[in-house]
Amino acid sequence: MAEPESTVINTNVKQKDPSTALVIAVTTRAIFNLEEEHKLYLEKGKDEYTRHQQANQDKPLPPGTAFAFIQAVQYVNRKILESNPAERDLFDILVLSNNSPESGARIVNSAKHYGLEISKFCFVSDEDSTQYLKSHGVKLFLSADRTDVCNALRRGVSAALVFQQEVQAPSTPLRVVFDGDAVLFSDETDQIFQEQGLEGALQYEQAMEAIPIGE
């Protein structure tokens, strides 16, 4: 499998071992608010978008929906290292972007401006950038694009859709909520529900309560 077109290593951040770290890939539209730029791209094309990004490369992008999540992850890493400076089981954040390296300079500069501990920026020219997730050891993929999320799931990478909304003030605690049905555990009960309705699903759960649900 080919490597991304260009990978920029963030020398301001200590690089982590992907074999031990929990690698999370986040798209640029999830971390930063790029709605105006995305609209420009759709209406006037890639060349105009690139010119706009280059002309504003020193102007930080506003935070996006996943911004506070990245800050919380950084906080957890710092607390872990305070307890054990040799700890290797840390969060590792990388950015996956369909930008070119030229138009991506603003993204790199914005991350450094906010002090985001992103280890690397992968600029990919392919339409389906999710094909590079496994080569980077990614365990979780966050995107604002539903198609990207579905593609990642089909490739066997855990993925979630982040919704564009008003960004809340950052907080240090990291709280992650997982849906139990068909996410942490198998969708066997849901299948019974679809076939036999609520009563059938309840009877199935009661009959199987002592048997662990599949992964």
What string of H, E and C letters represents the secondary structure of 85-153? CCCCCCEEEEEEECCCHHHHHHHHHHHHHHCCCEEEEEECCCCCHHHHCHHHCEEEEEECCHHHHHHHH
- CA separation for the pair 206, 194 (Å, rounded): 17
- CB distance 96 to 25 below 8 Å: yes
Mean pLDDT of 176-205: 84
pLDDT tens-digit series, residues 109-130: 999 999 999 999 998 877 788 8
Q: What is the pTM of this model?
A: 0.77
The domain spans of the chain are 5-175, 177-214
Is the pLDDT confidence value at 98 over 90? no
Mean pLDDT of 81-105: 89
Tokens for 106, please give them: 């603003």
**Region 23-43: what's the mean pLDDT?**
90
52 pLDDT more than 60: yes
Name 2's Cβ contacts closer than 8 Å, sequence gap at least 6. none
pLDDT band with cut points at 50, 70 and 90 for residue 12: confident
For residue 52, give the DSSP letter: H
Class of residue 124 by CB neighbours under 10 A (exposed 0-12, middle 13-18, buried 19+): buried
Looking at domain 5-175, which CATH architecture does it have? 3-Layer(aba) Sandwich (3.40)
pLDDT at 35: 86
Q: What is the pLDDT of residue 101?
A: 80
Point out the residues that are catalytic. 179
Which CA distances in Å does 73 have to 21, 87, 146? 12, 15, 23
Q: Does 2 score more than 50 pLDDT?
A: no
pLDDT at site 99 = 79
How is residue 193 written in tokens? 């529900």
Q: Of the candidates 129, 138, 119, which has an alpha carbon nearest to the alpha carbon of residue 19?
A: 138
Report the SS3 class of residue 154. Answer: helix
